[in-house]
Amino acid sequence: MRLLYSVLFLMAPLWGNKMIGKIETPPVENLWGVDVSHHQQRIDWETVAQKNDLHFAFVKATEGSDHKDSLFCTNWDMLQQTGIRRGAYHYFRSYGCGHDQALHFLQTVELSPGDLAPVLDLETTDRMPVEIMLEEARIWLETVERSLNVRPIIYTNLHFYETYLAGVFDNYPLWIARYSENEPTLRNGNFWHFWQYSEKGCVQGISKQVDLNLFRGTPQMLDRLCWFPAETLPTPHDPETAP
């Protein structure tokens, strides 16, 4: 059964048309994706691509200043072969130097045009003072952005965002984890770009349970969160590719 049908019941509230007075508006387009690490073990990405309605996949690349996910290279290369839009994430350790962690990520991940922007997975203070965690995370974000000329995406859970991050990194695309059939609502009114709505997804080609994610928007909107080298950026006069 395709991924779309496997989550039909869970996501039903998102698909219903919204009523404004008596005028019915069409539902927003939803794109589906997963995120994986070595915990999912070896993945049959060809089966994943053929059997599931999947638009993107995030892969764990690095953690801290020296750890690399044991299956990153395999997952990264196979995703490029299958044509599934791919993204790489770094699990941030708040006790580590943000600059060193950024360099570790940049030395590990080689982006191709159209890959999703790098992701900073920020979900623990590691018992460090909050101001240190935020400053080192800022250094990571700015180092990666300067190097690649693309704004990274921040991943976190709803509680961590509301407690530590709201109002701090508001200019970055946001990926929020909240395991519920109800989409996350941020108290400050900010908008999330990705929603990780389940950690117990069943996807053909992946033997273990996997995180399921939603991007609310069109493929063209997703392009705006991707990396393109300067020489391949869409030109403003091209109506097919201009943002």
The predicted pLDDT at position 230 comes to 77
pLDDT at 33 over 90: yes
pLDDT, tens only, 92-117: 999 999 999 999 999 999 999 999 99
Share of the chain above pLDDT 70, in %: 83
Residue 215 lies in a domain: yes
* Contact call for residues 116 and 56 (beta carbons, < 8 A): yes
pLDDT at 135 over 60: yes
The predicted pLDDT at position 224 comes to 95
The predicted pLDDT at position 132 comes to 97
Residue 242 lies in a domain: no
Domain boundaries, position 110: 3-232
Which is the catalytic residue, given 24, 46, 63, 123?
Answer: 123
Q: Which range among 25-34, 149-158, 183-192 shows the weakest confidence by mean pLDDT?
A: 25-34
CATH of the domain at 41: 3.20.20.80
Take residue 108 and report the two structure tokens written for it.
Answer: 């590990």
Residue 239 lies in a domain: no
Residue 94 lies in a domain: yes
pLDDT at 30 over 80: yes
Looking at the structure of the chain, the number of domains it has is: 1
* Contact call for residues 72 and 49 (beta carbons, < 8 A): no
* Contact call for residues 49 and 86 (beta carbons, < 8 A): no
The 10 Å CB-count burial string (b at 16+, else e) for 152-186 is: bbbbbbbebbeebbeeebeebbbbbbbeeeeebee
**CA angle (178, 118, 116) in 5-degree steps:** 85
* Contact call for residues 226 and 117 (beta carbons, < 8 A): yes
pLDDT, mean of residues 190-207: 96
Mean pLDDT for all residues in the chain: 87
What are the phi and psi torsion angles at 230 (to 5°)? -55, -35
Residue 240 lies in a domain: no
- How would DSSP label each residue in the chain? --HHHHTHHHHHHHHSPEEETTEEEPPPPEEEEEEE-GGG-S--HHHHHHHS---EEEEEEEETTTEE-TTHHHHHHHHHHHT-EEEEEEE--TTS-HHHHHHHHHHH----TTPBPPEEE----TT--HHHHHHHHHHHHHHHHHHHSSPPEEEEEHHHIIIIITTTSTTS-EEEE--SSSPP--TT----SEEEEEEEE--TT-SS-EEEEEEES-HHHHHTTB---GGGSPPTT-TTT--
pLDDT at 118 over 60: yes
The Cα 87–Cα 236 span in angstroms is: 25
* Contact call for residues 72 and 88 (beta carbons, < 8 A): yes
Strand 153-157 to 174-177 pairing:
parallel
Q: Which range among 6-15, 81-90, 189-198 shows the weakest confidence by mean pLDDT?
A: 6-15
Residue 238 lies in a domain: no
pLDDT, tens only, 205-242: 999 999 999 999 999 999 999 999 875 545 444 444 44
Share of the chain above pLDDT 90, in %: 79
Total-model pTM: 0.84
Take residue 44 and report the two structure tokens written for it.
Answer: 């049959």
The predicted pLDDT at position 231 comes to 54
29 is catalytic: no
Strand 153-157 to 119-121 pairing:
parallel
pLDDT, mean of residues 59-81: 97
